[in-house]
């Protein structure tokens, strides 16, 4: 039906190609202009008398402001009460000494604002004209939560349903298995919430978690957006200055050991049309360690940008997957390495062969200079303005794995 | 409370105005330029007015598949180098396809504006796709489908709902397409699709960021003016008749918790009723104090999650209510509660305070949308393409502000009716021994 149209278009197309052949500027990429100057927003850091550290980054492009109150709770083993901290965090905004859950929700929603709580604190954002109103609620849920029993029961019920839902999510399964294997079930990072542990948790245990851990001297208030540093200096003590400090004890647990040999773990998932493959391994690597930057560059080459070796190999060359990537996550306690992809069932083995080949290659052969250069550009971009939103989030510092990182655990969902 | 409300209302116009320049090249390419020097970056984007609704019924998924292929290269860019140029420049890029359009963008340091324009003009003028690229991307897209739809609990909800909500209109098939259609696509299909739709008179070039307008104009002219205009592409003009009665069905899936999905047919984006329907769905589901959440999750504890979401579509589309049952809850029971909340809106006019909450949420969301240069570039292109009015980026909020409480009640009665919906139950697959 469209044949005639098509011939006409082809003729035009040919003509176009002839026409532009005269234009040599098309042959090669244009040269960049002089590098633009980067001007960072005003930022400042100060500490309140109670030990709360405050970090402010000004950005006035939009009339919005974000607050994050981060409590750096030290990890501890929860054992048969695993999930207590998570539940406690969820309960913070479910009732205070002066506000019911419904009142909190209505106040926040009325401003079109957002507020969420977790075991590591409280986050909120709003139009800047509402900042005091939002901070009032934020401070209230942080300082005066009452952990109402009926809300506790509800949250528990929700958690049981969420567990059921996760049982059919291949990524959730893989994540649980990977952390249990990497860190061990007796380590804070390897513990998994189950129906059994949920059953045992009480509202008193949630309160206890809150009372022993939520202290200003291990916390940070991070403010970004349409606010002046002068204002921030007034606001921080006004809303969080009364928060009482206290000693927070660190939990005790053993450092996870490397697997002795490559270990393969299968989870059989009936009806799945893809295998979720994770090649993972615990690493001892802290932010700021000597190897940190080098290890991060290594991981980017391997699997953390579109042109990375894993993605090029498993997606662009072999078409086994929609995407493959690796993560190298440093941590003050224990970090991990994880390379992963979802692949169609019938190429599961072939995909693993390619994972292993790439891991061996990066260990044994020198990285070519042009590849290294490319990755350095990619990474400097990652911390440069091209990634900035006009409302910056607090930057997450990436950490590093030892250069000796190699793969030892394979988790498959078949 | 009343003072607070008044304050909120008077201040709404405070959002920063987005200034822009727009014009057409003689070949029909629409150009929009927004200058903003706050960070030294620039977003270069091209929106092609082609999506899954332009596809042939036996080649579903083609628009999206084709989007993958347009990263393969051109007469002057070897296979795989497209991304390399951007990565080397320290930029990011991506693309996405909807029912109605395909959108490509790069975010680059502002001294690389020329690079972005060169790449996009190569893509528009003479993209080149080799057989090896076609076969590779065919598999990649099939994996994308498996990952997003087939292997995801509730991943097929949209697909199953749309194919029952539409009988004639191309919205009835999924953007990602069906596996056998992806397999069937041939080289000739690509050539035709490229010739039909990837033409300057079907595209909007939208640039936002640290640019100088005059310089940008001259670069745009250099790279795009030589691309020839072609005939107007095919645009489906299919008017979907009314649903004409409730459609109910059951899907057995790899899920543990039953879910109820109610798909209501609603007017196209940009129509006055669409704005009212959007605010109605906010009333039902935006925030913890929203009606569905409060009733079903908080008070009755029947749902793990529940919400109602209108989809923005160029032709009349749908709003989808989606609830996942808490463990042990009968989906019939949950559905009855979902319906009760809808009936409440139909029977009682909402109060002033709750109405003001919706307006405040609209304002907050409207301001937040324009927080990145690529977001601004995309919004400008969308507004131009769908409504012929890029300035809606500054003024669309007024359309929401025209919606009254009575409008919300009226559209609830008009569109959220049984005869106008598809109801699906997602149930766990029976265990086979």
What's B429's DSSP letter? P
- How far is residue B277 CA from its own chain's centroid? 16
Characterize B385-421 residue by residue with b for buried, 16 or more Cβ atoms within 10 angstroms of its Cβ, and e for exposed.
Answer: bbeeebbbbbebbebbeebeeebbbebbeebbeeebb
Sorting pLDDT into bands at 50, 70 and 90, what band is A399?
very low
Q: What distance in Å separates the CA atoms of residue B411 and residue B273, rounded to the nearest whole number?
A: 7
Contact call for residues B417 and B346 (beta carbons, < 8 A): no
Instruction: Give the lowest-confidence range in A51-55, A410-414, B144-148, B214-218.
Output: A410-414
Q: What SS3 class is residue B379?
A: helix
Tell me the shortest Cα–Cα distance from A373 to chain B, in angstroms.
8
Check pLDDT > 60 for residue A61: yes
Q: What distance in Å separates the CA atoms of residue B234 and residue B240, rounded to the nearest whole number?
A: 18
Tell me the shortest Cα–Cα distance from B71 to chain A, in angstroms.
11
Residue of chain A whose Cα is closest to the Cα of B86: A378
- Per-residue pLDDT, B175: 94
Sorting pLDDT into bands at 50, 70 and 90, what band is B210?
very high
Q: What distance in Å separates the CA atoms of residue A189 and residue A186, rounded to the nearest whole number?
A: 8
C-beta atoms of B76 and A32 within 8 A: no
Instruction: Give the lowest-confidence range in A176-180, A266-270, A275-279, B278-282.
Output: A266-270
Q: Which one, of B51, B384, B89, lies nearest residue B208 by Cα?
A: B384
Contact call for residues B341 and B295 (beta carbons, < 8 A): yes
C-beta atoms of A322 and B147 within 8 A: yes
- Look at the block and give the residue holding tokens 């993972």: A280
Q: Which one, of B315, B335, B310, B339, lies nearest residue B325 by Cα?
A: B335
Contact call for residues A115 and A108 (beta carbons, < 8 A): yes
CA angle B322, B323, B324 (to 5 degrees): 130
Q: Which one, of A286, A91, A331, lies nearest residue A189 by Cα?
A: A331
- Look at the block and give the residue holding tokens 């697997």: A259
Sorting pLDDT into bands at 50, 70 and 90, what band is A409?
very low
Q: What is the ipTM of this complex?
A: 0.89
Separate counts of helices (H) and strands (E) for chain A: 13, 11
Q: Which chain B residues have a beta carbon less than 8 Å from that of A305? A: 87
- Per-residue pLDDT, B270: 95
C-beta atoms of A272 and B151 within 8 A: yes
Contact call for residues B143 and A320 (beta carbons, < 8 A): yes
What's A185's DSSP letter? T
Q: What distance in Å separates the CA atoms of residue A139 and residue A119, rounded to the nearest whole number?
A: 15
Q: Which chain A residues have a beta carbon less than 8 Å from that of B90? A: 377-378, 380-381, 384, 386
Q: What distance in Å separates the CA atoms of residue A376 and residue B90, rounded to the nearest whole number?
A: 9
Tell me the shortest Cα–Cα distance from B125 to chain A, in angstroms.
8
B167 contact partners, CB below 8 Å, separation of at least 6: B240, B241
C-beta atoms of B230 and A23 within 8 A: no
C-beta atoms of B226 and A16 within 8 A: yes
State the Rg of chain A over Cα.
26
Give the best residue of B142, B287, B322, B363 to mutate against chain A (max A CB count within 10 A). Answer: B287
Residue of chain A whose Cα is closest to the Cα of B354: A110
Q: What distance in Å separates the CA atoms of residue B319 and residue A269, rounded to the nearest whole number?
A: 33
Check pLDDT > 60 for residue A54: yes
Contact call for residues B108 and B42 (beta carbons, < 8 A): yes
C-beta atoms of A273 and B151 within 8 A: yes
Residue of chain A whose Cα is closest to the Cα of B136: A319
Check pLDDT > 70 for residue B212: yes
Q: Percentage of chain A surpassing pLDDT 70? A: 86
CA angle B87, B90, B93 (to 5 degrees): 55
CA angle B129, B133, B138 (to 5 degrees): 115
Q: What SS3 class is residue B178?
A: coil
Same fold? B19-224, B247-428: yes
Mean pLDDT (whole number) for A390-414:
29
Check pLDDT > 60 for residue B247: yes
Check pLDDT > 60 for residue B281: yes
Residue of chain A whose Cα is closest to the Cα of B121: A26
- Per-residue pLDDT, A382: 55
Contact call for residues B62 and B177 (beta carbons, < 8 A): yes
- Summarised one tens digit per residue, pLDDT across range A334-352 is 999 999 999 999 999 999 9
- How far is residue B100 CA from its own chain's centroid? 8
| Residue A124 in tokens | 């909120």
Mean pLDDT (whole number) for A34-40:
79
| Residue B179 in tokens | 């596996």
- Look at the block and give the residue holding tokens 């655990």: A409
- Summarised one tens digit per residue, pLDDT across range B361-394 is 999 999 988 888 999 999 999 999 999 999 999 9
Q: Which chain B residues have a beta carbon less than 8 Å from that of A110? A: 289, 353, 356-357, 360
Q: Which one, of B397, B311, B409, B293, lies nearest residue B355 by Cα?
A: B409
How high is the mean pLDDT of chain A? 86
- Per-residue pLDDT, B8: 37
**Pairing status of strand A335-344 against strand B21-24:** unpaired
Q: Which one, of B175, B137, B186, lies nearest residue A322 by Cα?
A: B137
C-beta atoms of A154 and B301 within 8 A: yes
Q: Which chain A residues have a beta carbon less than 8 Å from that of B294? A: 102, 105
Q: Name the strands in the sheet holding A64-71, side by side, starting at the edge strand that comes first in the sequence.
A: A43-47, A53-58, A219-225, A64-71, A121-127, A114-118
Q: Which one, of A192, A172, A164, A163, lies nearest residue A342 by Cα?
A: A172
Polymer length of chain B: 433
The full DSSP string for A63-119 is SEEEEEEEE-PPP---GGGTTHHHHHHHHTTSBBSS-BHHHHHHHHHHTT-EEEEET
Give the best residue of B18, B39, B88 to mutate against chain A (max A CB count within 10 A). Answer: B39
CA angle A314, A317, A323 (to 5 degrees): 35
Mean pLDDT (whole number) for B355-363:
97
Residue of chain A whose Cα is closest to the Cα of B215: A33
Residue of chain A whose Cα is closest to the Cα of B72: A316
Sorting pLDDT into bands at 50, 70 and 90, what band is A262?
confident
Q: Where are the domains of chain B?
A: 19-224, 247-428
- Per-residue pLDDT, A381: 67
Separate counts of helices (H) and strands (E) for chain B: 16, 11
Q: Which chain A residues have a beta carbon less than 8 Å from that of B301? A: 154, 157-158
- Summarised one tens digit per residue, pLDDT across range A282-320 is 999 998 889 989 999 999 999 999 899 999 999 999 999
Sorting pLDDT into bands at 50, 70 and 90, what band is B192?
very high
State the Rg of chain B over Cα.
23
List B263's β-bridge partners, or say none. Answer: B320, B422
Check pLDDT > 80 for residue B260: yes
| Residue A80 in tokens | 């048969």
Of A62, A162, A381, the CB nearest to B91: A381
Check pLDDT > 80 for residue A38: no
Q: Name the strands in the sheet holding A263-267, side by side, starting at the edge strand that comes first in the sequence.
A: A263-267, A409-413, A274-283, A335-344, A321-329
Q: What distance in Å separates the CA atoms of residue A182 and residue A44, rounded to the nearest whole number?
A: 38
User: Which of the pair, A16 or B72, is modelled with greater confidence?
Assistant: B72
Give the best residue of A93, A153, A168 to mutate against chain B (max B CB count within 10 A). Answer: A168
Contact call for residues A343 and A274 (beta carbons, < 8 A): yes
C-beta atoms of B257 and A270 within 8 A: no
Contacts 24+ apart (CB under 8 A), B180-189: B181/B58, B181/B59, B181/B60, B181/B61, B181/B62, B182/B61, B182/B65, B182/B138, B182/B141, B182/B142, B182/B145, B183/B138, B184/B58, B184/B59, B185/B59, B185/B62, B185/B65, B185/B134, B185/B138, B187/B131, B187/B134, B189/B59, B189/B62
Mean pLDDT (whole number) for B54-64:
93
Inter-CA distances, B417 with B208, B246, B247, Å: 42, 9, 12
What predicted TM-score, i.e. pTM, was given to this entire model? Answer: 0.88
- Summarised one tens digit per residue, pLDDT across range B228-240 is 999 999 888 999 9
Sorting pLDDT into bands at 50, 70 and 90, what band is A185?
confident
Sorting pLDDT into bands at 50, 70 and 90, what band is B39?
confident
User: Which of the pair, A123 or A404, is modelled with greater confidence?
Assistant: A123
At the fourth CATH level, the homologous superfamily of domain B247-428 is Metalloenzyme, LuxS/M16 peptidase-like (3.30.830.10)
Q: Which chain A residues have a beta carbon less than 8 Å from that of B109? A: 32, 35-36, 381, 384-386
Q: Which one, of B300, B333, B328, B293, lies nearest residue B425 by Cα?
A: B333
Of B91, B148, B368, the CB nearest to A64: B368
Q: What SS3 class is residue A214?
A: coil
C-beta atoms of B41 and A388 within 8 A: yes
How many beta carbons lie within 10 A of that of residue B73, not counting itself? Answer: 20
- Per-residue pLDDT, A14: 45
User: For B261-323, where are the alpha helices, taking DSSP H only?
Assistant: 272-285, 291-292
CA atoms within 13 A on the CB side of A298: 26
- Summarised one tens digit per residue, pLDDT across range B421-433 is 999 999 998 876 5
Contact call for residues A410 and A352 (beta carbons, < 8 A): yes
Name the helix (H) or strand (E) containing A278: strand A274-283
Choices 3.30.2320.80, 3.40.50.970, 3.30.830.10, 3.20.20.100: CATH for B19-224: 3.30.830.10
Q: Percentage of chain B surpassing pLDDT 70? A: 96
Sorting pLDDT into bands at 50, 70 and 90, what band is A205?
very high
Tell me the shortest Cα–Cα distance from B244 to chain A, in angstroms.
34
CA angle B146, B149, B152 (to 5 degrees): 95
Q: Name the strands in the sheet holding B203-209, side by side, starting at the edge strand that comes first in the sequence.
A: B21-24, B30-35, B203-209, B41-48, B102-109, B92-97
Q: What is the 3-state secondary structure (H, E, C) of A240-257?
A: HCCCCCCCCCCCCCCCCC
- Backbone phi and psi for residue A3, each to the nearest 5 degrees, phi listed first: -60, -45
A177 burial class (0-12, 13-18, 19+ CB within 10 angstroms)?
buried
Check pLDDT > 90 for residue B148: no
């Amino acid at each position: 039906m469209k044949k005639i149209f098509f011939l006409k278009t082809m003729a035009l197309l040919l003509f176009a190609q002839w026409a532009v052949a005269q234009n040599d500027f098309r042959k090669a990429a244009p040269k960049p202009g002089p590098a633009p100057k980067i001007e960072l927003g005003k930022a400042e850091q100060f500490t309140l008398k109670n030990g709360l550290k405050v970090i402010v980054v000004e950005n006035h492009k939009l009339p919005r402001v974000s607050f994050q109150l981060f409590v750096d709770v030290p990890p501890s083993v929860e054992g048969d009460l695993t999930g207590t901290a998570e539940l406690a965090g969820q309960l913070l905004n479910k009732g205070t000494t002066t506000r019911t859950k419904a009142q909190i929700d209505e106040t926040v929603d009325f401003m079109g604002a957002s507020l969420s709580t977790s075991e590591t604190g409280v986050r909120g954002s709003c139009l800047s004209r509402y900042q005091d109103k939002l901070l009032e609620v934020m401070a209230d849920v942080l300082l005066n939560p009452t952990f109402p029993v009926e809300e506790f029961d509800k949250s528990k019920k929700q958690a049981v349903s969420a567990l059921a839902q996760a049982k059919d999510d291949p990524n959730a399964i893989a994540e649980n298995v990977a952390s249990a294997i990497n860190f061990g079930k007796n380590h804070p990072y390897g513990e998994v919430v189950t129906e059994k542990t949920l059953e045992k948790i009480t509202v008193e245990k949630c309160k206890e978690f809150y009372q022993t851990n939520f202290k200003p001297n291990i916390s940070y208030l991070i403010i970004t957006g349409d606010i002046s540093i002068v204002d921030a200096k007034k606001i921080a003590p006004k809303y969080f200055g009364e928060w009482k400090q206290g000693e927070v004890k660190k939990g005790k647990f053993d450092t996870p050991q490397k697997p002795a040999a490559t270990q393969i773990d299968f989870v059989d998932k009936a009806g799945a049309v893809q295998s979720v493959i994770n090649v993972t391994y615990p690493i001892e690597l802290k932010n700021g360690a000597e190897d940190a930057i080098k290890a991060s560059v290594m991981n980017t080459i391997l699997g953390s940008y579109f042109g990375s070796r894993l993605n090029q190999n498993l997606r662009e060359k072999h078409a086994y997957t929609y995407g493959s990537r690796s993560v190298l996550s440093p941590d003050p306690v224990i970090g991990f390495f994880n390379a992963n992809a979802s692949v169609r069932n019938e190429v599961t083995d072939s995909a693993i062969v390619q994972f292993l080949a790439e891991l061996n290659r990066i260990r044994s052969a020198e990285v070519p200079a042009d590849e290294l250069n490319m990755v350095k550009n990619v990474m400097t971009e990652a911390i440069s303005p091209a990634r900035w939103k006009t409302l910056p989030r607090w930057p997450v510092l990436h950490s590093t794995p030892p250069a000796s990182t190699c793969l030892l655990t394979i988790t498959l969902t078949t | 409370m009343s003072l607070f409300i008044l304050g909120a209302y008077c201040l709404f116009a405070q959002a920063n105005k987005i200034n822009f320049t727009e014009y057409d090249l003689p070949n029909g390419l629409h150009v929009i330029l927004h200058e903003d020097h706050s960070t030294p970056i620039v977003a270069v984007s091209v929106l092609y007015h082609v999506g899954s609704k332009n596809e042939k019924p036996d080649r579903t998924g083609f628009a999206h598949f084709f989007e993958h292929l347009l990263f393969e290269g051109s007469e002057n860019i070897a296979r795989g180098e497209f991304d390399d140029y951007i990565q080397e420049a320290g930029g990011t890029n991506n693309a996405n396809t909807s029912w109605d359009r395909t959108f490509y963008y790069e975010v680059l340091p502002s001294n690389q504006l020329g690079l972005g324009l060169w790449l996009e003009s190569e893509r528009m003028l003479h993209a080149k796709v080799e057989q090896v690229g076609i076969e590779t991307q065919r598999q990649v897209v099939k994996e994308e489908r498996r990952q997003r739809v087939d292997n995801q609990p509730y991943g097929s909800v949209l697909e199953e709902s749309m194919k029952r909500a539409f009988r004639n209109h191309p919205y009835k098939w999924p953007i990602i397409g069906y596996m056998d259609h992806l397999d069937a696509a041939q080289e000739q299909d690509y050539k035709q699709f490229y010739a039909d739709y990837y033409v300057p008179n079907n595209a909007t070039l939208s640039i936002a960021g640290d640019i100088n307008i005059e310089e940008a104009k001259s670069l745009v002219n250099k790279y795009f003016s030589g691309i020839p205009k072609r005939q107007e592409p095919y645009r489906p003009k299919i008017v979907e008749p009314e649903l004409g009665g409730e459609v109910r069905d059951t899907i057995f899936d790899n899920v543990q918790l039953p879910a109820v999905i109610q798909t209501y047919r609603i007017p196209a984006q940009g129509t006055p009723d669409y704005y009212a329907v959007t605010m109605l769905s906010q009333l039902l589901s935006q925030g913890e104090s929203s009606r569905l959440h409060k009733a079903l999750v908080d008070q009755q504890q029947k749902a793990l999650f529940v919400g109602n979401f209108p989809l923005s579509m160029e032709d009349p589309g749908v709003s989808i209510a989606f609830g996942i049952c808490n463990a042990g809850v009968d989906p019939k029971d949950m559905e009855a509660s979902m319906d009760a909340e809808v009936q409440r809106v139909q029977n009682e006019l909402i109060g002033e305070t709750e109405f003001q909450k919706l307006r405040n949420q609209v304002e907050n969301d409207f301001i937040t949308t324009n927080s990145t240069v690529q977001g601004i570039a995309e919004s400008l292109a969308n507004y131009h393409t769908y409504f012929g009015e890029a300035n809606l980026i500054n003024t669309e909020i007024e359309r929401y502000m025209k919606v009254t409480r009575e409008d919300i009640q009226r559209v609830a009665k008009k569109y959220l009716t049984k005869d106008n919906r598809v109801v699906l139950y997602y149930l766990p697959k029976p265990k086979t021994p």
